[in-house]
Structure 1
Amino acid sequence: MLLEVIERGPEDGNNSLPPVVFLHGLFGRARNFGFFQRRLAATRRTLALDLRNHGGSPHGSMDYPTMAADVHETLAAHDALPATVIGHSMGGKVAMMLALQFPACVHALLVADIAPGPGGHAHSGAIATALAGLKFPPTLTLGETDAWLAPAIAEKPVRDMMKQNIVPGASPHWQIGLEQIVAGMEQVVGWPALPPGTQYGGPVLFVAGGASPYVQPANYPLMRVLFPHYRLVRLKGAGHWLHAEQPWEFLRVVEEFLRATG
């Protein structure tokens, strides 16, 4: 499946460095990484992708090997391999699976606040189920979406994120593939079985939120098995949405990683 892509790069188009690819989390979309794209695009080619069932990309069944194959097909079509891949949450799991399935196509890997293996997204699964139970009114303005979402989502920042996935107006509807997301939540929360010996030997940086529970010591053994050269840093005080909560600190970590990996 070819995915929707937002691409930015140096104005002169000359860059021999590996492209930088951004993969968003559940209910997100490519443009969530706009700040980081604009900063890095001065010197690097950057591509932000809408994963399947999100943004402008097609809809379909969800599991990590399939989603990683989408990313590989899309980057190959854009002549953007090998690439340095940065993924947050669900996008981080997709990025890890891409590196494990297509190691020669990933120059380096940065995973934001998620670990390999089952876990994470449990709260998002409850949100997805609650959203599926909402019924759109005949018309819905953008200004009315907050109150419409409130029965399903208590947190204002989460409602603000979900607004981007609604097409308001006459006959309002979801732009995301909500039905497919709900059906695939077990796969999104989980992690597929991998053949013995599967690993990615390139440089890997896990960036965890200091106040987030998503990367724990119990995850470290599998992280080491799959990614033997990984490093882990924590952003003090940051939660799961670390790149939105501390954008400048996250950018600093990203730029240091890019310099270190060439």
Structure 2
Amino acid sequence: MELHYREYGSYRAQRPTLVLLHGLLGSSVNWHGIARRLERHWHLLVPDLRNHGRSPHAEPMDYPEMAADLLAFLDRQGLDDAVWVGHSMGGKAAMWLALRWPERAAGLVVVDIAPVPYRHGFDTILTAMEAVDLAAIGSRRQAEGVLARYLDDPGLRQYLLQNLALENGRWRWRVDLQALRRGMGAITGFEPPADSSGYPGPALFLYGSESDYVTAAQRPRILELFPLARLRMIAGAGHWLYAEQPEAFVAALESFLRSAVGGRPRSPADDG
């Protein structure tokens, strides 16, 4: 599978490429603001995961397949490794890849998710999206009206509507809703590769102070699989911490890159 992607900055041998991975029902667009903040100093690749954005639709929708897609993506870019930065579902895909192919991960940054199963349900969200009659609506506003019957949060509705595209005069969801519904058990779960003994490289787990996705009870499991992991809280942020506290997120990320991964921002001499 050939994943669609966005590219920021330019490759420099003295510092690693960053691959940013979005969460469930998101796309590469979600990382645009952060990528623009980082592109002066770093080379970034931001793919759409399978069944999301402009990437192909395919099943199964699980972490082994997502990780295999990403490994093939790295190969097509001609890169031996990268620093993988993943939010939520993207974080789980990055963890699975690092556990299965640690030599392809120069570093790992996991954003507000842990390597554990979750009970968060997405059935109502998928039902709301399926309820939109794509042949009958004439605007995004009409689609939002349908979503509002199921979902009270206007921010969530706007997030979902980023997936609604008008192509050749017809509306369609860019995400494959049926593939996501069939794969939801695998997406909310997490089963590490059977032959993995853990990821021996540098890892940073960032979590929001107002989020319940990463808790003290999960710390032993994180350190079991990622023994060099650092855990850092971003104050005043929920699950979408990179959108809610972008400056703090970028500061934490770049501090990790400098100290643990060995990357350094580009200096003026590099531009000469």
Alignment TM-score, normalising by the size of structure 1: 0.93
Q: Secondary structure at the match of 2:107?
A: strand
Over 3 Å counting, the alpha-carbon distance change for 1:245 and 1:41 in structure 2 is same
1:116-195 superposed matches below 5 A: 116-119=115-118, 122-168=120-166, 170-195=169-194
- Quick one: distance in 1 between partners of 2:90 and 2:21? 5
Displacement of 1:38: 1.5
Q: Secondary structure at the match of 1:168?
A: strand
Aligned residues: 259
What's the Cα RMSD here? Answer: 1.7
1:229-258 deviations in Å (ceiling 9; x for gaps): 101011112111111111111111111111
Is residue 236–residue 245 contact of structure 2 (8 Å, CA) maintained in 1? no
1:63-119 deviations in Å (ceiling 9; x for gaps): 111101111111110123310110000000001001011100000000000000101
Is residue 139–residue 171 contact of structure 1 (8 Å, CA) maintained in 2? no
Is residue 4–residue 55 contact of structure 2 (8 Å, CA) maintained in 1? yes
1:1-262 superposed matches below 5 A: 1-10=1-10, 14-61=12-59, 62-119=61-118, 122-168=120-166, 170-195=169-194, 198-260=197-259, 261-262=261-262
Alignment TM-score, normalising by the size of structure 2: 0.90
Bigger mean CA deviation after superposition, 243-252 or 133-142: 133-142
- Quick one: distance in 2 between partners of 1:236 and 1:150? 30
Over 3 Å counting, the alpha-carbon distance change for 1:188 and 1:14 in structure 2 is closer
Which letter maps to 1:190? G
- Quick one: distance in 2 between partners of 1:234 and 1:64? 25
- Quick one: distance in 2 between partners of 1:18 and 1:140? 45
Match of 2:266 in 1: none
Which letter maps to 2:219? Y
Match of 2:267 in 1: none
Is residue 6–residue 48 contact of structure 1 (8 Å, CA) maintained in 2? yes
- Quick one: distance in 2 between partners of 1:175 and 1:257? 34
Which letter maps to 1:107? A
Displacement of 1:126: 2.9
Give the unaligned 5+ runs of structure 2.
263-272
Q: Secondary structure at the match of 1:84?
A: strand
Q: Secondary structure at the match of 2:71?
A: helix
Give the unaligned 5+ runs of structure 1.
none
Bigger mean CA deviation after superposition, 13-22 or 151-160: 13-22
